[in-house]
């Protein structure tokens, strides 16, 4: 029992480019010997995700579309995965979206559409994916999603995404309660701020990074590699007793 994922298959959802946290997770899993299946949101991202997947030079890597706003797209994606590999051992859910103009100013101005959109893509998608993937994890499995401190505290500008993360955090606990009897564990990683495509949408993101460098116990910002290695632990048997948990990988900032 250890950190080797040899002979195991994981679905990594949410790679957009090489800065994506999902890509950090993919590299950690690949280095541990896992077979990877990548899913991407829309045609616009297909070529960059394929290029990154090919760069791993790994046998059996698959790249499939999966827009999580569509139940049909999720069902089709997991049917294709089942036909291709039969069994999977886990899912990295690294997906979120909110309208840029709702990630600045006062939360009280959030629109109904913007609220529902953020909840749909950033929170409900975990449950929708877990439902379709459950039957493919016949040997047990591990689902890992990504959350942020803004779901636990009111953080300026995070606004509607903070409420979506709070709902995602609660979903982790309810899914863990449901799926434990199938030997499927569900956990989240609360990552410190990392400069990615999605993060660019958050107002005054640079000042959040500066604050971490100045005040976090480790005095540095979080890297996708650090998140990737914690995900590797959560996917491996070393974490077999952990479910419904949230691990902060944020240089310790959350204790302040």
Report how far residue 157's alpha carbon sits from residue 161's, in angstroms, rounded to the nearest whole number: 9
Single out the residue of 125, 127, 120, 118 nearest to residue 150, CA to CA. Answer: 118
Provide, rounded to whole angstroms, the least separation between the CB of residue 205 and ligand NAD.
8
C-beta of 133 vs 194, nearer to ligand NAD: 194
85-104 binders of ligand NAD (CB under 6 A): 94-97
Q: Dig out the tokens for 165 from the structure.
A: 């993360």
By CB under 6 A, residue 199 contacts ligand NAD: yes
Active site residue 158: yes
Q: How many residues bind ligand NAD (CB under 6 A)?
A: 26
**Is residue 21 marked as binding?**
yes
Strand, coil or helix: 172: helix
* Cross-strand partners of 208: none
Q: Report whether 195 belongs to an annotated binding site.
A: yes
- Check whether 144 is labelled as a binding-site residue: no
Q: Reduced to 3 states, what is the DSSP secondary structure of residue 222?
A: coil
Does position 121 interact with ligand NAD (CB under 6 A)? The reply is: yes
10 catalytically annotated: no
What count of other Cβ atoms lies within 10 Å of the Cβ of residue 194?
A: 21
Q: Is 208 annotated as a binding residue?
A: no
Determine the 3-state secondary structure of 151 from DSSP.
helix
Eight-class DSSP state of 192: P
Nearest-angstrom CA–CA distance, 234 and 74: 23
Which of 28, 187, 188, 196 binds ligand NAD (CB under 6 A)? It is 196
Contact window for ligand NAD (CB under 6 A) among 15-23, 108-116, 178-186, 212-220: 15-23
Residue 200 counted as an annotated binding residue: no
Helices and strands, counts by H and E, the chain? 8, 7
Site for ligand NAD in 31-70 (CB under 6 A): 41, 45, 66-69
- Interacting residues with ligand NAD (CB under 6 A): 14-16, 20-22, 41, 45, 66-69, 94-97, 121, 146, 148, 191, 193-194, 196-199
Q: Which residues are catalytic?
A: 148, 158
């Amino acid at each position: 029992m250890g950190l080797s994922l040899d002979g195991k298959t994981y679905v990594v959802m949410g790679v957009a480019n090489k800065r994506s946290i999902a890509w950090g997770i993919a590299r950690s899993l690949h280095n541990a010997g896992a077979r990877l299946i990548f899913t991407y949101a829309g045609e616009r991202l297909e070529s960059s995700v394929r290029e990154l997947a090919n760069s791993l030079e790994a046998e059996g890597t698959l790249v499939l579309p999966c827009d999580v706003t569509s139940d049909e797209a999720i069902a089709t994606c997991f049917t294709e995965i089942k036909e291709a590999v039969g069994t999977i051992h886990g899912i990295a859910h690294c997906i979120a979206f909110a309208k840029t103009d709702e990630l600045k100013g006062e939360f009280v101005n959030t629109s109904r559409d913007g609220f529902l959109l953020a909840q749909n893509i950033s929170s409900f998608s975990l449950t929708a994916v877990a439902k379709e993937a459950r039957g493919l994890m016949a040997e047990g499995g591990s689902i890992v999603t990504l959350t942020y401190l803004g779901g636990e505290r009111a953080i300026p500008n995070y606004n509607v995404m903070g409420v979506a993360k709070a709902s995602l955090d609660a979903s982790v606990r309810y899914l863990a309660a449901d799926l434990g009897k199938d030997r499927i564990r569900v956990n989240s990683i609360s990552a410190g701020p990392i400069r990615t495509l999605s993060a660019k949408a958050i107002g005054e993101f640079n000042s959040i990074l500066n604050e971490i460098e100045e005040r976090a116990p480790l005095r540095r910002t979080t890297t996708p590699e650090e998140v990737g290695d914690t995900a590797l632990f959560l996917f491996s048997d070393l974490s077999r007793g952990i479910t419904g948990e949230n691990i902060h990988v944020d240089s310790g900032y959350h204790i302040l």
